[in-house]
Amino acid sequence: MSLKEKLNVVEENICRACQRAGRDRKDVTLIAVSKTKPVWMLKEVYDLGICQFGENKVQELMDKYSVLPPDINWHMIGHLQRNKVKYIIDKAALIHSVDSLRLADMIEAEAAKRQITVNVLLEVNIAREETKYGLMPEEVIRTAESFANYKNICVQGLMTIAPFVENPEENRVHFANLHKLSVDIAKKNIDNVNMSVLSMGMTNDYEVAIEEGATHVRVGTGIFGERVYKSI
């Protein structure tokens, strides 16, 4: 299948999931996760109308940012080291992977220097997997409350990377739990914190995620095909 055909399949699946859930298609944003993929492929997908791209490495995001059209929204979806915040702070439209107040402090400091406001999501380890980054579910409300003190960060919602499962139905409970958590936080009316974004769902499970309230789905393989990681 061509990139165009693969993108069409994803688009159709998103539309059908929205219909099943009684949701409007325009309330779900498709992020094309382009990590490891060459610039020409991103350009082709961009020319097909996609303006949201997700990358998980700072260097790769910067490289692609510098050669692709300026109206692209770049999503930083990978673990972010504090010493790299300065490179992407003015390039990422949304940082999905804020998982500690130490990282938030660094984002605040760099944002203050540039007098900008940075949009972030809190990453939640919703299934409590030992190998995953993210705040534990019980820490999220307390952490969100701390963001009332920041002046240059706006929390726009929550993000999670669900477990790798064969049957996407197994992740439904995790998506539902993340949604519940976001509703609980929204009720608290914390300064600088709103819960308009729920970033959940990848190639294997984005349809279930949409049924459970995802506003942003991050699809890589489904659009670009399998990733090949070069061995060193």
Give the residues lining the site for ligand PLP (CB under 6 A): 33, 35, 56, 77-78, 161, 202-204, 218-222
Contact 116, 153 (CB under 8 A): no
- In the complex, the smallest distance separating the C-beta of residue 121 from ligand PLP, rounded to whole angstroms, is 11
**Which ranges constitute the DSSP H helices of the chain?**
3-21, 39-47, 58-67, 85-88, 101-114, 137-146, 172-187, 206-211, 221-224
Cβ atoms < 10 Å from Cβ of 189? 9
Q: Measured between alpha carbons, how far is 72 from 126 in angstroms, rounded to an integer?
A: 29
Nearer to ligand PLP, 146 or 177 (CB): 177
Query: What is the phi/psi pair of residue 141, to 5°?
Result: -65, -45
Task: Compute the least distance from the CB of residue 196 to ligand PLP, in Å.
Answer: 19
User: Among all residues, whose Cβ is closest to ligand PLP?
Assistant: 220
Give me the residue label for tokens 């770049």. 74
What is d(CA 33, CA 217) in angstroms, rounded to the nearest whole number? 10
* Smallest separation, CB 7 to ligand PLP (Å): 13
- Pairing assessment for the beta strands 193-199 and 153-159 based on DSSP bridges: parallel
Nearer to ligand PLP by Cβ, of 152 and 156: the residue is 156
Please state the closest distance from residue 216 (CB atom) to ligand PLP, in A.
10
Q: Which residues contact 207 (CB under 8 A, 6 or more apart)?
A: 13, 14, 16, 17, 168, 201
| Identity of the residue, 34 or 143, whose beta carbon is nearer to ligand PLP in the bound complex | 34
Residue 80 Cβ vs ligand PLP, minimum distance, rounded to whole Å:
11
- The CA-based diameter of the chain, rounded to the nearest angstrom, is 49
How far apart are the C-alpha atoms of 28 and 231, rounded to whole Å? 36
Q: Toward ligand PLP, which CB reaches closer, 78 or 152?
A: 78
Q: 13 or 203: whose CB is closer to ligand PLP?
A: 203
Nearest to ligand PLP of 77, 152 (CB atom):
77
The least CB distance from residue 203 to ligand PLP, in Å, is: 3
